[in-house]
Structure 1
Amino acid sequence: MFARRLFGYPSMNWEHPFAELDRMSRQMDRLSTAVLGRPAMPWMSAKVFPAINLTEDTDKYYVRAELPGIKADGLDIQVQNRNLTITGERTIESEGESVRYHRREREAGKFSRIISLPGDIDADKVEAKMLNGMLTVAIAKAEASKPRQIAVN
């Protein structure tokens, strides 16, 4: 069944080939946190946050990032060359010392995502807006990277 999923055969229950490894990693993280009070291998427990989508149209690239509970003034957004960097910190109120977790997936801490853009950009034409925990960054493409119609003689 895995081979069918991996090589593109039709399947109603398709999932990413590494989804099972991700599930196992989360289970190991939860087990070591329950036993040791901390992840056994902190570098293995790093989550990809924020989740992003990168899209484009003829004039711009759009990066949309889910940032629930984070205020716009707490973000640092920079562009350099073909990279967009989003940096910030997510804080979560303490639940108390005597709280026993049954599931803990929400983490607090500093984050930084560097998103490589597929083409050259115009760094002077970047706009960012935040609405209901969704950050949208619109980045103008450089004129040289925009598609051009070629006339055939």
Structure 2
Amino acid sequence: MGEALDRNPFRTTASAFPPLNLWHNEAAVAVVAQVPGVAPEDIEITVKDDVLAIAGQRRPPDVPQGAVWHRRERSFGRFTRVVRLPFVVDPSQVEARFTNGVLTIALQRPEAQRPRRIAIKAG
């Protein structure tokens, strides 16, 4: 359940886990990933330059001894999702929150790399 670096930001892959949304402005990037059935302590987030990696493990449920699966649609096991961000971020300025199976990550762009508006002087 892994994925190579995401080169097309508008492409969606049904098998990619966790599914995520990403948006940005000049100062920051926000990533929201759905990770139902995964405990926060089973998730690892890393960032280097403009690459974000979300890795973890979705553990299988406890099934009584002798039980036979009738239907098994949810996958279990290790996962890794790697995505290229629209710009380099400051790894010391990353905040992650986990609520009800939704992981929200805010990544700040270094101040020195943010676009600056240049004033035009008359005459």
User: TM-score, normalization: structure 2?
Assistant: 0.77
Contact between 2:49 and 2:90, CA under 8 Å: does it hold in 1?
no
Higher relative contact order (CA 8 A, sep 6+): 2
Equivalent runs, 1:73-84 vs 2, <5 Å: 73-84=41-52
Are 1:141 and 2:109 an aligned pair? yes
CA distance in 1, matches of 2:62, 2:39: 19
The range that moved more, 124-133 or 139-148, is 139-148
Larger of the two Rg values belongs to structure: 1
Q: Which runs of 4+ in 1 moved over 6 A?
A: none
Are 1:150 and 2:122 an aligned pair? no
User: TM-score, normalization: structure 1?
Assistant: 0.63
Gaps of 5+ in 1: 1-17, 23-46
Deviations 1:77-111 (A, max 9, x none): 1111111111100123155642332xx43110100
Figure out how many residues of one structure are paired with residues of the other and give that number. 108
CA distance in 2, matches of 1:113, 1:92: 19
Cα offset, 1:72, TM superposition: 1.1
Which structure dedicates a bigger proportion of its chain to helix? 1
Gaps of 5+ in 2: 1-11
Equivalent runs, 1:2-81 vs 2, <5 Å: 47-81=15-49
Q: Percent sequence identity over matched residues?
A: 35
